[in-house]
Amino acid sequence: MSQSDLTQLLESWPYEPGRVNARRITGCDGRPKLQLRIDMGVMQMEMEGRPDGKRPEGFESLLAYQLDRLECYVEQSGGPEGFVLSSDECRAMREEAVQYYHRYVGLLALGEHDAVVRDTNRNERLFDLCREYAADDADRTVLEQFRPYVIMMRARAEAEAALSQGGTQHALAAIDSGLAQIKTVLEQAGGGEVFEQANEVQLLRGMRDALVPKLPMSQRVELQERLQAAINAENYELAAVLRDELKLLR
């Protein structure tokens, strides 16, 4: 069996600590590939479908396979009650989710915002499936710690996509939606008190703080109107957010 030394490849593309080293190439099959330079080598992934290019059980992914199983079960049984995922099935899907994680991190670095939204939505659906149907309690909860990160990445992609089209207001809306979703997730998990310190929250708020001063005057007036409406509706949490944004404008 022939062996290939990767030294020349690695030296031609040095690893840069502290940043996501990603690039798009065209594979020998003519299809685009995503490459990630990591400290000890290079990861290569398909741009669509399962990142490793495999089709488990003939499906695009294990998630697609298990969703098909669930649909067939519901059709035969009249409901999802009794459908379960074994620990081995949950473990295999977690391993698959890691592949998609690596891909959407690289995709965000390349500005492939729609693909990031696609992959983060997919992974969150996998989290939902395990939470709802895993036979073991540990398999139901182990992925929940990563849900705020997935939400944050999706919000970043949506905000950056809006900014690329000049939509500052839409970018702010995407960020605020992400923050609200993260808060709900943490509160449901009994960790609402850590919301202010969460890294995902700090990152999204940093993005929002940088965007608010760029709003045109008409949108500043809109913020004031939304603030008054929130106060009138006694939605003091939203009012506090809007008040902070107005302070940044001043």
Residue 45: what pLDDT? 97
Rounded to 5 degrees, what are φ and ψ at 61?
-160, 170
Q: What pTM, to 2 d.p., does this model score?
A: 0.82
Residue 81: other Cβ atoms inside 10 A: 8
pLDDT digit string (tens) for 123-164? 999 999 999 999 999 999 999 999 999 999 999 999 999 988
pLDDT digit string (tens) for 60-112? 999 999 999 999 999 999 999 999 999 999 999 999 999 999 999 999 999 99
Residue 1: what pLDDT? 38
- Residue 14: pLDDT band by 50, 70, 90 thresholds? very high
Q: Determine which of 5-19, 137-151, 212-226 has the lowest per-residue pLDDT on average.
A: 212-226
Average pLDDT score over residue span 217-223? 61
Report how far residue 227's alpha carbon sits from residue 233's, in angstroms, rounded to the nearest whole number.
10
Q: Which comes out higher in pLDDT, residue 214 or 36?
A: 36
Q: Is-contact 182 195, C-beta < 8 A?
A: yes
- Own/partner contacts of 217-220, CB < 8 Å, gap of 24 or more, are 219/168, 219/169, 220/246, 220/249
Q: Does 7 score more than 60 pLDDT?
A: yes
> Rg of the chain over CA atoms, in angstroms?
22
